[in-house]
Chain A
């Protein structure tokens, strides 16, 4: 693209009063010979925008450097079709967080403009990636409540849907329930499930193709162009689909592992699932002799919230057991029902159900089961350490003990494989953080990183729990229902709708060539300069989303529609051959180099802050919005994710005489907050390798620091920077200054 640069400096919002705008303009016109440079008192107003448009038409400018407010505001105003736009933040991170009419503030503004100009010089307009023969069909895997609901919702929105169910019938877990707990007020009555209606609607819907008794053999491709091979009763069918909803649900925890609670040992110890089956058949009896059941003990958290079994809470077992207690009480109000719990968690509106069950005379016990014993008549006795009495207590004889077992997601069942980087050709071990994929035989993805979605420690699909719960770490694959997290019926229905909408969104964004969440406006995608690739595999291993496959010679095979555009591959590549049209290693490297580094005796140190655009950069803006004063020595460079940080930038900065480098990114590790899952973790891992580089340059490793900040941490930012600056002061100036 032939570019003609223009710089626009807004003097509104106090910028004109706080800075020497004339001197600032000279940076553009003098140092960089920018052909068009204008100031305007109200650039985001209609007149300012018209002026820019006028220049585009009359002067043919097409690379615009807007030196005004933060890129996080007015992005819709400063959006000019056919032009590259680079924003220089003079307001939030300029005059709002630094003193007015101050030499250092002026130097900061001038450096910010230099960085903007050099970046704009390098940037090109993204050309959206276009999928050939894009499919708008949604594939739903799993025909239970979540899958049926997702399929119906996708079809209602006008999208063709393919539903694959492993068993011969649709309906899943919910279809085996005798009753469901009330989803309507007063929430304390038992209701029939509506699963049969959902099954019927799915089977009658012309937009939905149902494969029952079917299994997915493999899925290749990427969003907009997945090829799913389905084994349907021995024959293979191929469906081309645009996005996938994973709704395979959960199974009950294996009660045979609960021998300490008498399962498998005593005939009258059963699971909640078995009781449900008896209730559905119409008669609840003692398995030992088929006799009537007049007394029941429910053991909640049977193998749940237990380090030896399922360490987590499955959220529904309390409510389901309350429901089953009513099965017993409704048949025989005189029946003795005991419920033993760790904590009664009747989530949602089910406190009403809990109250009703209490009023029906069911006895509740909080504490731990000590033992379950059986007498010669196969009657059972529960011994219990009751925290509410503070003593051990023992029940009268009961006919039945029911274990409320927790949920195991179907994604957790299978051989666990750890994905690790292999030794690269130089023999160095690239020990990027390992991650786990479980061969659960559900999706069978033909992905270099493994056949299923990456999981968290309990086997649930990894996602950004707070911001993007449905998005798995495989773009275009959205988890819904209890395969994602333990959940009850109403939550599952909402979840399925959410995931179906996400799948549709993915298809439509892919059709436009745009990234999906969180960079939905982004049309750029990584390009590989393959001639210089050394087949080191770092990009294919480190991509948090499995976007890059490999050929047999280990050459990376990128799938742009799987890509979330975080740039982690760009940060990983030791040969620096991966770049975006508007974001690349040399682009950021040149920004670093554009910073003017004063001589040592001027005592004006320089700190480059690489700030994650998702949380850290907004936090810096908020610091300005709150008029917190920031150190005058910082020069902020926004990055898409700290995962895109290429170590060469640090070398560039240090060899130029920059005194310190501060990386501001999201929380990583357990409960990570990184919008790209692994980016900040990878940055911290890469940083651990930096000492080698620093040693080579005879520099102290303390010159580089990484801090985790969230968007709410704006008030901590001045101190984080000050602390780093004072450490740099102790170390002394960078000896490379002036070289």
Chain B
């Protein structure tokens, strides 16, 4: 067999594109072992090994750019938080993806996403002018310089009918809690978190810069997000571009209010609730307690832990652009979460991320467990017990 030529040029390119910790990797393989893909069978599981992908990157060898390898990572962060060498594995993945995306090669499923982001400022092919349609029938305050929090609603909850319910219930809860908040409107663009993970650095910059300018011009200082993905990018990536804001996930603020006794809940119907930690709220942002505190403050709710929770939570498979990927049944991580919740005797699977909701709900339906197990966003459960 011909031996492969090392390409120091490709390697240097990757490092300059952001894979600065590529060389720190000592190839121990803990990353591949911890990868959620090991939990499922199938073609991707058999072809995608994050350790090997890093190795190919280190040597600038071809092979990392095969579509099923390059775009398999859900950026769940399980490998990264456990890496004994603190390699920023997700940044390395991002930079490897950027080598092909910037050359114009994008997987079919992601082409419309990128196109829509360019054209409409959201990945869902929704017209910009309809961004605020989720508010119909709801009196949502507009953000003014006097407003304390700017509420940034994830594109998914702006356009996806199921997800719009999340935005609405978040608004209702915030209002009931007496929080000073408001939204800006159709000028808002996608936060860009996912498209950056996909590898389109240019597009991310474009979206982020337009948002930063908009937020600044409106006098935004504090941001509340409905999605942990927006939270992540506002908090950790916007400052690179000069966008310094105080950012919180809405559950963090509500938990604070509940702790201070400024938000009290009435009895909800007796429920046995399993909580799924979204990767971006938990591992990426370190928020484990706030949602649990809210759930525990609901009378009549019994909180059960999934067998993998908190730092060890298993990804729903929706991050890193995988939300739009086609994965055969039996190979979806979300199915394992649904089965785990069922196994724990839960009747409700609660989470706090619009992506997780899409993935888990689809998997619950596919497994025909939707009669037994309800998938809910935490605000939906909160508002139920506020209404009663």
- A residues contacting B by CB (< 8 A) are 336, 344, 354-355, 358-359, 361-364, 366, 370, 383-384, 386, 388-396
Contact = CB atoms under 8 A, between A and B. Distances in A.
Nearest to B86: A355
A395 B26 CA distance: 19
Interface string B6-30: 1010000000000000011111000
A366 B3 contact: no
A391 B55 contact: no
Contact of B52 (A383, A389, A396): A389
Contacts of A386: 59
Given A393-B3, A394-B4, A364 B26 contact: yes
A390 B61 CA distance: 12
B3 A383 contact: yes
24 contacts: A355-B85, A358-B24, A359-B24, A362-B23, A364-B27, A366-B27, A370-B3, A383-B3, A386-B59, A388-B27, A388-B52, A388-B55, A389-B52, A390-B52, A391-B3, A392-B3, A393-B3, A393-B4, A393-B5, A393-B6, A393-B59, A393-B61, A396-B5, A396-B6
B6 A395 contact: yes
B56 A389 contact: yes
A392 B51 CA distance: 17
A359 B23 contact: yes
A336 B8 contact: yes
A467 B317 CA distance: 56
B58 interface: yes
A386 to B, nearest CB: 8
A683 to B, nearest CB: 47
A394 B8 CA distance: 12
Contact of A394 (B6, B27, B55, B85): B6
Dominant secondary structure of chain B at its interface with chain A: mixed
Interface size class of B (residues with CB under 8 A): 20 to 34
A698 B360 CA distance: 84
A391 B24 contact: no
A392 B27 CA distance: 17
Interface in B39-76: 51-52, 55-56, 58-59, 61
Contacts of A361: 23
A391 B6 CA distance: 12
Contact of B55 (A370, A389, A395): A389
Given A363-B59, A388-B55, A390-B52, A358 B3 contact: no
Given A391-B4, A393-B3, A394-B5, A358 B26 contact: yes
Contacts of A366: 27
- Of the listed residues B1, B24, B52, B58, the one surrounded by the most CB atoms of chain A closer than 10 A to its CB is B58
B58 to A, nearest CB: 7
A711 B311 CA distance: 45
Which 9 A-B pairs rank lowest in CB-CB distance, beginning with the nearest? A392-B3, A394-B3, A388-B55, A388-B27, A393-B4, A358-B23, A383-B3, A361-B23, A394-B5
Contacts of A389: 4, 52, 55-56, 59, 61
Contacts of B6: 363, 393-396
Contact of A392 (B4, B8, B24, B58): B4
Contacts of B8: 336, 396
Interface string B287-328: 000000000000000000000000000000000000000000
Contacts of B58: 363
Contacts of A344: 26
A542 B84 CA distance: 53
Contacts of B27: 364, 366, 388
